[in-house]
Amino acid sequence: MERIKIVVAGDNYLFTKGMECLIEESLLFELAGTVLNEIELIDKLSNKQADVLAIDISSIGWSEDILKRVMKYVPGLKVLAFNTVKQRNEISVVLGSGVTSYLLLCCDKAEITEALLKTAKGERFLCGKVLNALINIPKRELDGHDAGCPLYSVCAGVNISEREMEIIRYVSEGLSNQEIADKLFLSVHTVNTHRKNIMSKLGINNTAGLVMYAVRNQLVS
């Protein structure tokens, strides 16, 4: 079986090194090279045939512009973008520039492996955390690049339960844990536990983060 040739791009050591290890440890992949900037990238892509570009777009020096130029220069290139953010606007722009798949830098090895495989096959792979943010993007914004990507996959991502959603809503409305407990006929301890679990799942550590999550995911008006 032919190995998938992957070019890694980014100027963050942990990212490039980590990707190199992942690729070389696997029998499925083959490292087609690591590049630090746009010039090296174009050079690498024109000299060596590659199947997938795994690029850290959170690095300083990488932007959607560069991505667009590369996509133009190497048509049909499959791109798996890594980023730190999961804001809708940002994701929208990146996917709009022709990127096939989108992961967060915090995704784990299994997710990255799966994403590389799917991307090589031309399928979309989005991190579940990203999908959460993406759900509300008007479909048309993606249509331009949808034709060739009929399949969507998502990694585990964040799964907020119904009860937890309820808690988030009340927190966002300004209720204290005690008030929420009264409203839902729960112990304040339970509300607090839910709150802790939510914050843990979302990787935040205060009320402001909870409210912003609620707003981004339209849990509140």
Partner DNA sequence: TGGCAGCTACCGCAAAAGGGGTATTTTGTA
Partner DNA sequence: TACAAAATACCCCTTTTGCGGTAGCTGCCA
Nearer to a copy of itself, 117 or 204 (CB): 204
- In sequence order, the β-bridge partners of residue 101 are 80
Residue 220 touches which of a copy of itself, DNA, none (Cβ within 5-8 Å per kind): a copy of itself
Residue 72 touches which of DNA, a copy of itself, none (Cβ within 5-8 Å per kind): none
Summarize the chain as % helix, strand, coil (round to 5): 50, 15, 35
- Structure tokens, 29: 């992949």
Nearer to a copy of itself, 39 or 208 (CB): 208
* Residues 20-59, interacting with a copy of itself (CB under 8 A): none
Nearer to a copy of itself, 71 or 85 (CB): 85
* Residues 107-166, interacting with DNA (CB under 7 A): 159, 161-164
In the complex, the smallest distance separating the C-beta of residue 214 from DNA, rounded to whole angstroms, is 13
Q: Which of helix, strand or coil describes residue 102?
A: strand
The yes or no reply on residue 218 touching a copy of itself (CB under 8 A) is no
* Residues 180-209, interacting with a copy of itself (CB under 8 A): 204-209
Residue 215 touches which of DNA, a copy of itself, none (Cβ within 5-8 Å per kind): a copy of itself
Residues 6 or more apart whose Cβ sits within 8 Å of residue 164: 194, 197, 198, 201
Nearer to DNA, 33 or 157 (CB): 157
The yes or no reply on residue 212 touching a copy of itself (CB under 8 A) is yes
Q: Kindly report the backbone phi and psi dihedral angles of residue 208, in degrees, each rounded to the nearest multiple of 5, phi listed first.
A: -55, -45
The yes or no reply on residue 196 touching DNA (CB under 7 A) is yes
Instruction: Please give the Cα distance from 169 to 209 (Å, whole number).
Output: 13
Residue 148 CA: distances (Å) to CA of 39, 54, 100: 28, 19, 9
Which is it for strands 4-9 and 52-56: parallel, antiparallel or unpaired? parallel
Residue 221 touches which of a copy of itself, DNA, none (Cβ within 5-8 Å per kind): a copy of itself
What count of residues does the chain have?
221
Give the one residue of 177, 202, 213, 214 binding DNA; rule: CB under 7 A: 177
For 208-212, which contacts have Cβ atoms below 8 Å and span 24 or more sequence positions? 210/168, 210/171, 210/172, 211/171, 211/172
* Residues 98-117, interacting with a copy of itself (CB under 8 A): none
* Full strand arrangement of the beta sheet holding 101-104: 29-35, 4-9, 52-56, 78-83, 101-104, 124-126, 152-154
Query: Can you give the binding site for DNA, defined by CB under 7 A?
Result: 159, 161-164, 175-178, 184, 186-190, 192-197, 199, 205-207, 210
Query: Can you give the binding site for a copy of itself, defined by CB under 8 A?
Result: 87, 89, 171-176, 204-212, 215, 220-221
